[in-house]
A and B are shown apart, each in its own frame.
Chain A
């Protein structure tokens, strides 16, 4: 298993896509975090630090796409064939990819939330606005944000295994996160549930940062993390089951 994980780690860092996605999303996330910290309008009822650090979660989309690519690019370029010839057990392959992408997501999240916190707090401080966060709360946000980024990579991996088609999986995921889920929050009856249990809400809850809707009722960090992990697990189990039975023709 260690050899397989090492192989998947090598695969991950030997395409330019990996660097483009991670470094690109990190740059955007830090730039937006810095901009909010330095010039953003601050809502009174939510600590300013939580508002600025919400932008650090931008990398979670990139982590999700990395997860999607892990399996779909193997199908797209046919490399799934040589891969399965050295690793016939498709569940082990998914587990190895999961380990690698969880670690990559964790590192990306740590960088984004860690550097983001340093930048945002310094920027707010320079404007004389109190962040409203204790040192412990800042650390909890960094930890939660990193865990959330890792879990988004896992969710992406599950979606990729399930759908196999690269463009389809990415389009569907982005459509869900940016269009369908926000629309669902407007539907009477389920809107409030989506504002608490949707992917965006769980990401905010897990990192304990401000949600899009300041009135939204977010879960605490731990339950948000457990629920997001459960989503990832369900998608991964379904994806692995589908992958196992699929003909690689």
Chain B
């Protein structure tokens, strides 16, 4: 049983279809990056997982049960949504203490977490005066209160400085190494690239990919672009070999699953004339953009 599972989840808000038949899962001991542009349905999905919004269809479960049916929610799952969410007039320490009491967590744990997220000195100040990064760290401490087996973090790197991001990355890896399941959302792929074992990419409420990042890169980023008088003949030959080839309107072709060297050999064997042979853009951002932008005429 996965630690966390979203199964054919659908959620509408009025006329807006926020999440559309979405399925994915997170196993214990892994970090899964949950990616999509702003407005793709990430937060709604996380809120459905946490029992805050009711699905219209499908289910979202934690350790096999809907959030509302967990016998000990605080020790099962911890979450941070939208940068923590604190009352601006309440001191950081009091914010944690109140939640700790409700969760049956001892006050000593509050001090331990304040130390961990480096908020010991600021804990006596009202949260309204905190920077974005401080609120995020308080939110992270909130998520960790019950020492939960499952963590759900919505854009946790927002507002953190580079050291903070690096610290967070190492910290999440160490939590996963302890056997915890971690789902971490982001609208920036690079942010989770070094942390996540696997990524789920959603766009307009639908899953467009779930795979280990390395496989996603191999699938999406491989290939070369070939232009020139014989590009079409090359495309026909490569298709005959079973390659995935896409023709551009300009006449150039994109060969998805061949390296530049492989294509070069075919060009030499067939004595073709080409004017350009270049590797396709393979940065994470380009893959992410390719997965999540709307192609003209493509159904949304």
Given contacts A15-B89, A86-B73, A248-B53, contact A10 B98 (CB under 8 A): yes
Write out the residue numbers on chain B whose beta carbons fall within 8 Å of the beta carbon of A7: 98-102
Closest to B70 in A: A88
**Is A188 among interface residues, defined by CB-CB distance under 8 A?**
no
Binary per-residue interface labels of chain A (69-81) against chain B in the complex, 1 for a CB within 8 Å, 0 otherwise: 0000100011101
User: Is B94's CB under 8 angstroms from A14's CB?
Assistant: yes
User: Is B89's CB under 8 angstroms from A16's CB?
Assistant: yes
User: Is B101's CB under 8 angstroms from A82's CB?
Assistant: no
User: Is B102's CB under 8 angstroms from A86's CB?
Assistant: yes
Write out the residue numbers on chain A whose beta carbons fall within 8 Å of the beta carbon of B99: 7, 82-83, 86
User: Is B102's CB under 8 angstroms from A84's CB?
Assistant: no
How many Å lie between the Cα of A84 and that of B68 in the bound state? 10
Interface-facing stretch out of B74-82, B194-202, B216-224: B74-82
How many Å lie between the Cα of A10 and that of B91 in the bound state? 11
User: Is B97's CB under 8 angstroms from A88's CB?
Assistant: no
Within the complex, the shortest CB–CB distance from A25 to chain B, in Å, comes to: 18
**Is B50 among interface residues, defined by CB-CB distance under 8 A?**
yes
List residues 101-157 of chain A with CB under 8 A from any CB of chain B: none
Within the complex, the shortest CB–CB distance from A229 to chain B, in Å, comes to: 27
User: Is B52's CB under 8 angstroms from A11's CB?
Assistant: no
Closest to A74 in B: B87
**Is B67 among interface residues, defined by CB-CB distance under 8 A?**
yes
How many Å lie between the Cα of A89 and that of B84 in the bound state? 21
Write out the residue numbers on chain B whose beta carbons fall within 8 Å of the beta carbon of A77: 85-88
Write out the residue numbers on chain A whose beta carbons fall within 8 Å of the beta carbon of B47: 247-249
List residues 207-233 of chain B with CB under 8 A from any CB of chain A: none
User: Is B85's CB under 8 angstroms from A15's CB?
Assistant: no
Given contacts A7-B98, A81-B52, contact A14 B103 (CB under 8 A): no
Which listed residue, B50, B82, B89, B91, touches A85 by the CB 8 Å rule?
B50
User: Is A85's CB under 8 angstroms from B74's CB?
Assistant: yes
Q: How large is the interface on B (under 10, 10 to 19, 20 to 34, 35 or more residues)?
A: 35 or more
Which listed residue, A3, A14, A16, A245, touches B102 by the CB 8 Å rule?
A3
User: Is B81's CB under 8 angstroms from A83's CB?
Assistant: no
Given contacts A81-B52, A82-B142, contact A88 B98 (CB under 8 A): no
Write out the residue numbers on chain A whose beta carbons fall within 8 Å of the beta carbon of B94: 10-11, 14
User: Is A6's CB under 8 angstroms from B101's CB?
Assistant: yes
Within the complex, the shortest CB–CB distance from B265 to chain A, in Å, comes to: 55
Chain A residues with a Cβ closer than 8 Å to the other chain, count: 28
**Is B54 among interface residues, defined by CB-CB distance under 8 A?**
yes
**Is B39 among interface residues, defined by CB-CB distance under 8 A?**
no
Which listed residue, A4, A8, A84, touches B52 by the CB 8 Å rule?
A84
**Is B129 among interface residues, defined by CB-CB distance under 8 A?**
no
Binary per-residue interface labels of chain B (33-54) against chain A in the complex, 1 for a CB within 8 Å, 0 otherwise: 0000000000010010011111
How many Å lie between the Cα of A15 and that of B127 in the bound state? 11
Write out the residue numbers on chain B whose beta carbons fall within 8 Å of the beta carbon of A4: 101-102
User: Is B85's CB under 8 angstroms from A81's CB?
Assistant: yes
Within the complex, the shortest CB–CB distance from A30 to chain B, in Å, comes to: 26
Closest to A93 in B: B102
**Is B179 among interface residues, defined by CB-CB distance under 8 A?**
no
How many Å lie between the Cα of A221 and that of B67 in the bound state? 46
Given contacts A14-B94, A15-B89, A77-B85, contact A84 B101 (CB under 8 A): no
Within the complex, the shortest CB–CB distance from A75 to chain B, in Å, comes to: 11
Closest to A89 in B: B68
User: Is B44's CB under 8 angstroms from A249's CB?
Assistant: yes
Within the complex, the shortest CB–CB distance from A67 to chain B, in Å, comes to: 17
User: Is A78's CB under 8 angstroms from B103's CB?
Assistant: no
Which listed residue, B52, B79, B102, B145, touches A249 by the CB 8 Å rule?
B52
Closest 5 CB pairs of A and B: A78-B85, A7-B102, A7-B101, A14-B94, A248-B52
CB within 8 Å of B: which residues of A? 3-4, 6-8, 10-11, 14-17, 73, 77-79, 81-89, 245, 247-249
CB within 8 Å of A: which residues of B? 13, 44, 47, 50-54, 67-68, 70, 73-74, 77-79, 81-82, 84-91, 94-95, 97-104, 142, 145-146
- 29 A–B pairs (Cβ distance < 8 Å), ordered by A: A4-B101, A7-B101, A7-B102, A8-B98, A10-B97, A10-B98, A10-B101, A14-B98, A17-B89, A77-B85, A77-B86, A78-B82, A79-B85, A81-B52, A81-B82, A81-B85, A82-B84, A82-B85, A82-B99, A83-B99, A85-B78, A85-B79, A86-B146, A88-B70, A89-B68, A245-B54, A247-B13, A248-B53, A249-B47
Extra pairs beyond A8-B98, A15-B90 (16, CB < 8 Å): A10-B94, A10-B101, A11-B98, A16-B89, A81-B85, A84-B52, A85-B78, A85-B79, A86-B74, A86-B103, A88-B67, A88-B68, A88-B73, A248-B52, A249-B47, A249-B52
